[in-house]
Chain A
Amino acid sequence: MSRDNTLQQQADAARREPPMYRADLTLTQVTRDISAPITGEPNGWWWAGFLISVALLGMGSAIVTYQLNYGLGLIGLMHPIMWGTYITNFVFWVGIGHAGTLISAILFLLRQRWRTAINRSAEAMTIFAVCCAGLFPLLHVGRTLLAFWLIPYPNFRYLWVNFRSPLIWDVFAVSTYATTSLLFWYQGMIPDLATIRDQEKRPLARKIYSIFAQRWKGTAADWHHYESAYGLFAAIATPLVLSVHSVVSTDFAVSTLPGWHDTIFPPYFVAGAIFSGFAMVVTILSILRKAFHLEDYITLDHMELMNKVILGTSMIVGYAYILEVYMAWYGENRYDWHIYVWIRFLGTYAWAGWLTIFCNVLTPLIFWFRKARRSLVVMFIVSIIANIGMWFERYVIICTSLAQDFLPSNWGYFRPTIFDIGVLVGSFGLFFTLFLLFARFVPTIAMSEIKAVLHHPVGEISGSPTLEESHV
């Protein structure tokens, strides 16, 4: 069977499906709709959300300042449990940060056109989540001012970093990921920024947008360079999606601790990250499309597709949970068995263990039903639960394993303090502050890409997304 034949068959199949977007959407309409939040005045919902977020951020900052002044003793860390909620938050936010690049890069390379509606906001979410994540290692080290010692640089002490330590890998993985994601995000935004620039009336704003739009003129040469770069970034970002959380998982997997020392961790963490990342995207988009009237662009079809990903990754995560217990049994390791079975599901931390199972494994099962997948209320609730579950999954991994390890005389029980909770809430404040600013000042949907696929059916396959033909 020749390649043409295949393509033809696929195209035929695709044409039978309904198009992704409303047929009567015009290119002008797209531009107007999407740039409306930027060129217009923000509505009350935005202000309300923004003020709440800033307030939370302020509270978090106050706590952090207090902590930096007086010491880490403010949070609930204790002798066996030296990593607590801060590292939980770190892993949680890094996980959230997965979906954006995954949606952007991998789905781009796989020619999944439905990504166009959500990729921009998902990428933004990535950037902001990584911002939040990046803060926590800094806050959790004992001497924050000296945290730069984790970066290898020539110095008069003739000291180097320990390349055997997973924390050093973390520094590289997360900073590379953050840099690449940021560039990828920004580069994909350039045509849209140019569109805004062209629409913007206010001179200062116009000036700023024009700086960021980098003299984009929409010429063929521009598009050519743009596309090569975009493809390149996508190719670079794709392995990073897998690597960053794999590396984060080695923070645990490389150690000796029962409950951490597990070869399954890298894929398990990546699956969990995608799970929580998509859940976060669903949470945010279900609000965003309502708040900015983007129902035409972020359709239920998009949401359903994401819910399918959530269902799939949730099952991978569930499999990992089962496998952990199985390995503890099969490996006949007394300490593993104690952690994986006695502590997490029968002992002191059973509440957290079963909460994790409920949130991450049982709740997403509702997405087997199409109705649930397409119900905004259901998906909103499920995505929130999934995120809570994923936070607690990290909490369980970190705290239970540390709480009762080898020597019983060391055992302890982690009790977060009000400061732990405050900083977590504050990080959400930071995240939403940034996100709301993004929604206000940057096109939340990739206009140029929407335009490229506007009147094409969902599954249409072509050589490459012909973006240039769409830009009017």
Chain B
Amino acid sequence: MIFSRLKERWRLVTLVALLIVLGIWKVAMAASNVGYSPAQPIPFSHKLHAGVNHIPCQYCHAGVDRDTESPIPPLNVCMGCHSVVDANKPVIQKIAAAYKAGKPIQWVRVYDLPQFVKFAHRWHIAAGVACQTCHGPVQDMNQIRQYREFVMGECIACHRSQTYLPAPADKVHRNLATYHGHEVNAKTECSTCHN
């Protein structure tokens, strides 16, 4: 009898422990925002544009190779095509109206870095990192959704594994490339992202 009681107790303990672990995992996942996919003021579909129609990312997000921020395309980029394409659709007309009025669309931010981090897209574009590495299969998303966690560990892991030798820069970092006789990865020192 005492054994069965003990067993029950253990079962209870296991259950509670499991619940706690699940709870922590749930909270952690929620805090990381993975899967966050808010409704946008314009039901823009990346799947249609990037997936079906094969429009390259940088066609709309032009300047991402020069910016620190990835530019959300201004309305004049939308209107570049949509003053002709599907111009009579109500959604497009909304965009056109907003464009004419000079009122920007307030998109809901999906990707958000933690505080006090400086991140430059252009550095990564120059290094040949595909957009999908961080943003996931955008071309398959109707509504944009956060693909992976944006935490320091993810940055560090990638920086440690990626070699930091984009074509033109190897001259500059010649010294670094042979630092201590082995190849050097992307910088992981603090000032890379924090200043």
Please report A residues at the B interface, Cβ cutoff 8 Å.
155-159
Contact = CB atoms under 8 A, between A and B. Distances in A.
13 contacts: A155-B153, A156-B151, A156-B152, A156-B153, A157-B151, A157-B152, A157-B153, A157-B156, A158-B152, A158-B153, A158-B156, A158-B157, A159-B152
Contacts of B153: 155-158
Nearest to B32: A156
Contacts of B157: 158
B42 to A, nearest CB: 35
A159 B188 CA distance: 11
A205 B46 CA distance: 68
Nearest to A155: B153
Contacts of A156: 151-153
B175 to A, nearest CB: 25
A156 to B, nearest CB: 4
A159 B157 CA distance: 12
Contacts of B151: 156-157
Given A157-B152, A157-B156, A158-B156, 10 more contacts: A155-B153, A156-B151, A156-B152, A156-B153, A157-B151, A157-B153, A158-B152, A158-B153, A158-B157, A159-B152
A155 B153 CA distance: 8
Interface of B: 151-153, 156-157
3 residue pairs, one from A and one from B, having the closest CB atoms: A156-B153, A157-B152, A158-B156
B117 to A, nearest CB: 12
Nearest to A156: B153
The majority secondary structure among interface residues of chain A is: loop
A155 B152 CA distance: 10
Contacts of A159: 152
A159 B153 CA distance: 9
Of the candidates A155, A156, A159, the one having the most CB atoms from chain B within 10 angstroms of its own CB is A156
Contacts of A157: 151-153, 156
Nearest to A158: B156
Contacts of A155: 153
A158 B161 CA distance: 14
A206 B10 CA distance: 27
Contacts of B156: 157-158
A148 to B, nearest CB: 16
A426 B106 CA distance: 52
A167 B157 CA distance: 29
A157 B151 CA distance: 8
A153 B24 CA distance: 17
A156 B151 CA distance: 8
A171 B93 CA distance: 64
A157 B116 CA distance: 14
A157 B150 CA distance: 11
B190 to A, nearest CB: 10
Nearest to A159: B152
A344 B118 CA distance: 47
A154 B42 CA distance: 43
B152 to A, nearest CB: 4
A369 to B, nearest CB: 62
Nearest to A157: B152
B180 to A, nearest CB: 20
Nearest to B157: A158
A157 B157 CA distance: 9
A358 B31 CA distance: 58
B57 to A, nearest CB: 28
Nearest to B152: A157
A234 to B, nearest CB: 35
Nearest to B149: A156
B158 to A, nearest CB: 12
Nearest to B188: A158
B191 to A, nearest CB: 15
Nearest to B156: A158
B168 to A, nearest CB: 30
A155 B151 CA distance: 11
A159 B155 CA distance: 13
A159 B152 CA distance: 10
Nearest to B154: A156
A161 to B, nearest CB: 15
B113 to A, nearest CB: 14
Contacts of A158: 152-153, 156-157
B173 to A, nearest CB: 23
Nearest to B160: A158
A158 to B, nearest CB: 5
A158 B153 CA distance: 6
Contacts of B152: 156-159
Nearest to B190: A159
A436 B152 CA distance: 48
B49 to A, nearest CB: 34
A157 B155 CA distance: 9
A158 B151 CA distance: 11
A156 B149 CA distance: 11
A288 B135 CA distance: 69
